[in-house]
Amino acid sequence: MSQQGDRPATTDDWWGRLYDESARDTGPAATPDDTIDDRFDSAADTLGGGDDLPSTRTYGHAVDAIAVDDDEDDAGDDEDEGVGPASRPPAWWESPGGRPVTRTPAPAPESAPAPAPEPSVPTPAPVAPAPLTPRPRAPWEPPPAAFDPTDPAADPTPPPAPPPAAPRDPRAADPRPPAPAPPPPPPAPAPAARISHVGDSPPTYEPEPTALPAADAEELDQLVADTVLDGARYGTYTLRAASLRGDSARYRGEPRRDALLTARFGAGPGALVLVAVATGARATEGAHLSAADACRWIGGAVGRSHSRLAEDIRAGRRGDLKSGLHRLTDRTYGKLRARAAELGRDPEEYTASLRCLLLSADPDCRTRVFFGVGGGGLFRLRDGAWQDLEPLVPEPSAIRGAPVVGYGSVPTGAGAATEQTPDGDRLTMDLEITKAPGPLVEEPVPPPPEPFRFRASVARPGDTLLLTSVGLAEPLRGVPALGDELAARWADGEPPGLATYLADVALRAKGYADDRTAVGVWEA
């Protein structure tokens, strides 16, 4: 038996059956009812076993090798001898024990009408679909997908998303206890009001200028401004300088007696900064002119020697600095005396106190040099406390000059007895000749000049050095509240701006109305 279920047959038998003259022609039918089904039946009769082949008629249903028992006989089907169901065994697809693969036909939509049957073919009875049964997968078929449509437990649709939560009514009560509110931040401290004066009562005069000094049309260059403000930064220090007229001078319309000079000589690390402060004699005419001359002449002397001075400062040669600056100061005062003689005035009237600072521009040099003559103040603010650095000088009454020979001085020592007679007369060269007495000096000897002041110190980071004229030095020493207020304002160690520094220097105290000049040096 062959693989198709037919019995063995020779080539001649097959050829004879196919082309036997007794077989009916499979060409076009003589009747007009030549349909696809008639042609299929004709081909099936020719191949044999037409009754055993499954029916392929479709009426609105897709059929794919479905085993159907058709009770209706096909009209006109001729059976060849020896090829009917009684004469051969059924094929494997015709065996009742076979496993035909069936698929559930998709039901037609309810709204779509069923197609009308052809008039020449009777409509068969509806066939109930066979239940779906799985079959083994052939080797050439791909493996099943993750979703098996034959698995009744498989659900191709994703689970429905949970419904959105209903919006919460803000008016409804919250079952949770309310969270405690964070404590409010502490209020920022209010900035302290900047006071304009210290003491129990305000000063007598107004804080702002009221009258201008008198001017001469031919000598306008002798006018001085009410206030001078300057500043700079070199190396590790910041410089602030201010000079302003006192309250009494502003009220009376007098010029400012204080003079201020700030100058830089040279460039680079070898540069030298000079700050000079001078104050003219009180109650004298042209006091502001003598102060300006003192600053100008000491500035010229330092400028001509700035290279040597800058080298000595960086090398720490204090002895050379003291002697050299002393000579420059004496020359300045010599010019003041010469200027007084030109004007026909006494030297004591055309003079000024002079105080200076020398600062190196080298960042590696922290030596600060002070020198001068006359009154004023030199202070240092360190660790929140003021230190008075004014060099100590002896009182004028304690200074006595050496005796001048020929003006009544009496020699003492071993040779004193041989120079006078027993009666007290002085002798000359033992010739018994009496020497005439010297001239009688009835006027008092003029007081010695102001001593020269010098100090060289090494600054520390955070220090503040303050050089002042008499107008600010006296209230700093006499009114502790003034020093405390300035220390509080400069406690952070940061140099103030020019405007702020001017306001700090202008802090007034009752009973002190002179001009004020202050030079501050803030160390980084």
The contacts found for 238-241 with CB under 8 angstroms, 24 or more apart, are: 238/495, 238/521, 238/522, 238/524, 239/273, 239/275, 239/359, 239/519, 239/520, 239/521, 240/495, 240/496, 240/498, 240/501, 240/519, 240/520, 240/521, 240/522, 241/275, 241/517, 241/518, 241/519, 241/520
Do 375 and 516 have their domain in common?
yes
pLDDT at 481 over 90: yes
Which domain range does residue 218 map to?
204-390+449-523
SS3 category, 183: coil
The mean per-residue pLDDT over the stretch 217-221 comes to: 90
Going by pLDDT thresholds of 50, 70 and 90, the confidence category of residue 77 is very low
Predicted pLDDT of residue 426: 45
**Domain membership flag for residue 509:** yes
Do 356 and 501 have their domain in common?
yes
Q: Tens of pLDDT along 113-148?
A: 555 555 554 555 555 555 555 566 666 666 655 545
Stretch among 22-26, 140-144, 252-256, 325-329 having the lowest mean pLDDT: 22-26
Do 332 and 212 have their domain in common?
yes
**Domain membership flag for residue 132:** no
201: β partners: none
pLDDT at 404 over 50: no
pTM comes to 0.57
CB contact at 8 A, 486 and 507: yes
**Domain membership flag for residue 341:** yes
Please report, for the domain that includes residue 303, its CATH number.
3.60.40.10
Average pLDDT of the chain to the nearest whole number: 75
Do 335 and 455 have their domain in common?
yes
**Domain membership flag for residue 116:** no
Q: Tens of pLDDT along 488-508?
A: 999 988 999 999 999 999 998
**Domain membership flag for residue 82:** yes
Do 244 and 378 have their domain in common?
yes
**Domain membership flag for residue 140:** no
Examine the fold and report which residue of 97, 115, 148 is the final residue of a domain before the chain moves on. 97
Q: Which residue has the higher pLDDT, 405 or 447?
A: 447
Q: Distance from first CA to last CA of the chain, Å, rounded?
A: 117
The mean per-residue pLDDT over the stretch 16-26 comes to: 55
Stretch among 32-41, 60-69, 345-354 having the lowest mean pLDDT: 60-69
Predicted pLDDT of residue 258: 96
Going by pLDDT thresholds of 50, 70 and 90, the confidence category of residue 199 is confident
**Domain membership flag for residue 111:** no
The mean per-residue pLDDT over the stretch 473-484 comes to: 94
Do 220 and 91 have their domain in common?
no
> How many angstroms separate the CA atoms of 283 and 514, rounded?
12
> How many angstroms separate the CA atoms of 252 and 235, rounded?
42
Number of structural domains in the chain: 2
Mean pLDDT highest for which of 23-27, 59-63, 178-182, 461-465?
461-465
The mean per-residue pLDDT over the stretch 252-261 comes to: 95
Predicted pLDDT of residue 255: 94
Predicted pLDDT of residue 43: 73
**Domain membership flag for residue 343:** yes
- Two tokens at 475? 């209230």
Do 384 and 264 have their domain in common?
yes
